[in-house]
Amino acid sequence: MIVGVGQSSERIGEPDYRGISPVGLATQAACRALADAGGPDASPLRGAIDLVAGVRQFDNSSPTTTAPLGRPNNFPRAVARRLGAAPRRALLDVAGGHSPQHLVNDIGAMVATGEVDVALLVGAEAISTVRHLVAGDDPPDFSEQVDGDLEDRGHGRRGLFSRYLTSHALATPAHQYALFEEARRARLGLDRASYARTMGALFAPFSAAAACHSHASAPTARSVDELATPSERNRLVVEPYTRALMARENVNQGAAVLITSIEAARRLGVPEHRWVFLHGHADLRERDLLDRQDLSRFPAGVAAVELALEMAGITLADLTTIDLYSCFPIAVSAICDELGLAPDDPRGLTVTGGLPFFGGAGNNYAMHAIATTVERLRVAGPTASGLVGANGGMLSKYSVGVYSRVPRPWAPDRAATRQDQLDAVPVPGIARNAEGWGTVETGTLTYHRDGRPDTGIVVGRLDDGRRFLALVADGDDDLTGRLAAGTAIGTRVYARALGVGNRVAVSSARMERLLPRRVPTLRGSYEFLEVRRDDHVLEVVINRPERRNALHPPANDELEDVFDAYFADRDLWVAIITGAGDTAFSAGSDMIYHASGNPMWVPVSGFGGLTRRAGMNKPVIAAVNGFAFAGGFEIVLACHLVVADELARFALSEAKVGLAAGEGGLVRLPRAVGPALANELVLTGRPIGAQEAHSRGLVNRVAPAGQALPAARELAAQIIASSPTSIRVSLDAMAEAAAFPDPVAAVSAYSRPMDDLFTSEDSYEGRMAFVEKRAPRWVNR
């Protein structure tokens, strides 16, 4: 049960503003929670705390976020030190707005089982203060070094972001929520103006509640028109959201909750009129964005509310207070839709004013909702009950608590079965490289600060049913206009896959005008490559020796262009790829380029233009000089033949820098050398030399030091002595056969390439040359 709650806040410009750090705000709230439970002398409670759990601050919510004024190395223990407490354990939860309620549910179970006696939950943000002070002449240092262990649960970002989402401008919550919101608007059949008023009507009572809360960051009641109508002070950020309809992150707020058992509360002298019990609780997770059946709904959130109410033995109608997480309107309406909860319910849907008006408070908003709910229940009558719904991620995680003053034994979590049911729902297929016709499922449009449209983002379905992400092709004003007007959903679009992501336009003709397909031809020169053509042989040299021939996006794009031209040119029969100098074939991806803040991508055909290329039916030889590490080794594995000088070394070294060999290394290496050696090389990053690679079948020939390229030329000369048509057909047939586990089935299966070879001119020429005892004159057809 909760026996004490406390909140703290300050606003810049007010007389009592002091510029308190997050630790200071959390400590202030914790002191108030202790006083709330123990009265003026809270020392017995303070001394009894054996667990302090912290909600992760925004500036520590991902590995890439920074704290401009510094942050403590151990947030929970920093608060405990200021309190004069010495907890046995300290815990820092994952990021997400669900975290405070999840901690109550989780630590409630620890208390119930005797694992924890007295627990203090704290969280705070000083985002507004940090931005204010960092611009000053002498900014303070908010960092603190505290001794003691910390159970850090990590950032908890799995499924919330991905390379695919980020490459399509979906790296921020507002853009993903806008997609859900627009999908809901389309499902309800509302135009943009009507839907804007529904969002304003939903949130206007929230602003009125904030106006009555002493800790609200924006305590001003707003009308429906003020919220829904774009203006100079309420600009459109991303369709359909104006600034007033989004969570307010510029806050200075802290909150704390004290949890204990009845036995401990009695022992420590906490009066019974302070006790508030957790009657029902549930924690459920939604599918990742692209795996959801319906982007307008939130079944995990709805199920979590239903489970918690069922556990508490009450219905929605029995609740006295309700607080639904409100980072964006859809977070509230998606719950209300399925539960039949009216937006204008007389009880209200928030006890604080919600995230846009009370304040986002980083990941800690729900701690304020819990604290305010406890305060309200204490004065509402002995049988009053309240519900707090806390959302994390992108409608991703939902934690619910149902509270009451009526004593009730702890009930264990019942969510596992319901989670299994949610996870069993079939997911749509995903087309990461989308090509062809499809339909817009939902979409949004971002805006510059001056009101100009910026980026159109679309979730679509190809005609085969697979879902895809895309950006509107630059210059397609028609589709951009439809996104602005709210008429894009259901529009037929044409998709094109590029290395930087998918693009869509309203027709294939417009796509061709805006993004014409390049005719695959060799250019006269390249910036990052040297390309030489010698009769039927193409030599490609990665020319970045100062970076150990590591590849960045421009170099990768050039390699894709070159190999596109190679595979399209009937007079080119063999290609050789190597690296400039004698140090490295390729060190893989250019990490220095990426670390400098530059965007990273690979072409549709993969790293080096080869690792994802389908239909490689002409030989590519890797001439490995020096080392081929990480992506460089993956290029080698994608080649048909490998010649290495005796000093060459090979390694999949990605795990040593927290990455994985995602460009084919994890697929091709086990097939080439077997799982035992592949596991060793992947898990340890151990390099292997040319001789070991040759003995394991990774290398065809080992050349003297510095002679890999001449040896590769010799191998190419032997290949072009054979029929290029036969070689092309043989490579196609071997690729077909790889799909058959049974060799007899593969041999017996019909093969179009073999039929085509039988009727080819090269087949006739080869037989005649044999009979006439002369060298064949291949025509490659």
Name the least confident of 18-27, 34-43, 65-74.
Answer: 34-43
CA 319 to chain centre: 36
Angle between helices 665-673 and 675-684 (to 10 degrees): 140
| This prediction's pTM | 0.91
Nearest to 367 by CA among 42, 79, 709: 79
Q: 3-class DSSP state for residue 316?
A: helix
Name the least confident of 100-114, 431-445, 575-589, 721-735.
Answer: 721-735
Options 3.40.190.10, 3.60.110.10, 3.30.300.30, 3.90.226.10; CATH of 529-720: 3.90.226.10
Q: 3-class DSSP state for residue 386?
A: strand
Which pLDDT belongs to residue 251?
96
Alpha-carbon gap, residue 85 to 689, rounded angstroms: 57
Q: Which residues contact 245 (CB under 8 A, 6 or more apart)?
A: 199, 200, 203, 227, 228, 328, 329, 356
Alpha-carbon gap, residue 760 to 768, rounded angstroms: 13
Give Dmax over CA atoms of the chain in angstroms.
Answer: 111
How confident is the model over 214-224, as pLDDT tens digits? Answer: 999 999 999 99
How confident is the model over 576-631, as pLDDT tens digits? Answer: 999 999 999 999 999 899 888 888 889 999 999 999 999 899 999 999 999 999 99
754-778 residues labelled b (16+ CB within 10 A) or e (exposed) = eeebeebebbebbeeeeeeeeebeb
Nearest to 143 by CA among 53, 87, 75, 82: 75
Run of H or E including 299: helix 299-312
Beta strands across the sheet bearing 688-689? 584-586, 627-629, 649-651, 688-689
Beta strands in 405-519 (DSSP E): 436-447, 453-462, 467-472, 492-498, 501-505
Domain 2-164+243-423 coded CATH 3.30.70.100: no
Q: Which residues contact 648 (CB under 8 A, 6 or more apart)?
A: 585, 624, 625, 626, 627, 628, 689, 690, 693, 699, 708
Structure tokens at 55: 């909600």
Place of tokens 């020392």: 43
Run of H or E including 25: helix 22-38
Identify the DSSP state of 406: S
Residue 449's pLDDT band (cuts 50, 70, 90): very high
CB-based burial label for 545 (10 Å; 0-12, 13-18, 19+): middle
Q: Which residues contact 694 (CB under 8 A, 6 or more apart)?
A: 644, 700, 701, 702
Report whether 418 contacts 400 (CB < 8 A): no
Structure tokens at 179: 């997609």
How confident is the model over 336-392, as pLDDT tens digits? Answer: 999 999 999 999 999 999 999 999 878 999 999 999 999 999 999 899 999 999 999
What is the pLDDT of the chain when averaged over all its residues? 94
436-514 sits in which CATH class?
Answer: mainly beta
Residue 509's pLDDT band (cuts 50, 70, 90): very high
Q: Is the pLDDT at 760 greater than 90, yes or no? A: no
Structure tokens at 117: 């006696």
Catalytic site residues?
Answer: 634, 654
Mean per-residue pLDDT, 149-153: 95
Q: Is the pLDDT at 7 greater than 80, yes or no? A: yes
Which pLDDT belongs to residue 545?
96
Three-state helix/strand/coil letters over 195-240: HHHHHHHHHHHHHHHHCCCCCCCCCCCCCHHHHHCCCCCCCEEECC
Which pLDDT belongs to residue 123?
97
Alpha-carbon gap, residue 252 to 360, rounded angstroms: 10
Which pLDDT belongs to residue 598?
85
How confident is the model over 651-682, as pLDDT tens digits? Answer: 999 999 889 999 999 999 999 999 999 999 99
Alpha-carbon gap, residue 690 to 36, rounded angstroms: 71
Report whether 473 contacts 505 (CB < 8 A): yes
Place of tokens 């049974």: 742
Pairing mode, strands 252-260 and 2-9: antiparallel
Pairing mode, strands 252-260 and 453-462: unpaired
Structure tokens at 302: 């709805």
Q: 436-514 and 529-720: same fold?
A: no
Beta strands in 43-173 (DSSP E): 51-54, 89-92, 118-126, 151-152
Mean per-residue pLDDT, 43-58: 94
Q: Is the pLDDT at 104 greater than 90, yes or no? A: yes
Pairing mode, strands 385-392 and 321-324: parallel
Mean per-residue pLDDT, 275-281: 97
The length of the chain in residues reads: 781
Q: 3-class DSSP state for residue 615?
A: coil
Alpha-carbon gap, residue 597 to 641, rounded angstroms: 36
How confident is the model over 382-424, as pLDDT tens digits? Answer: 999 999 999 999 999 999 999 999 999 998 888 999 999 999 9
Alpha-carbon gap, residue 46 to 35, rounded angstroms: 10
Q: Which ranges constitute the DSSP H helices of 313-353?
A: 329-339
CA 228 to chain centre: 30
Q: 3-class DSSP state for residue 310?
A: helix
Report whether 644 contacts 624 (CB < 8 A): yes
Which pLDDT belongs to residue 165?
93
Alpha-carbon gap, residue 614 to 564, rounded angstroms: 11
Q: Is the pLDDT at 155 greater than 90, yes or no? A: no
Q: Which residues contact 526 (CB under 8 A, 6 or more apart)?
A: 543, 558, 562
Alpha-carbon gap, residue 312 to 320, rounded angstroms: 14
Extents of the domains making up the chain:
2-164+243-423, 436-514, 529-720, 724-772
Residue 636's pLDDT band (cuts 50, 70, 90): very high
Alpha-carbon gap, residue 510 to 473, rounded angstroms: 9
| Residue 408 CB neighbour total at 10 angstroms | 15
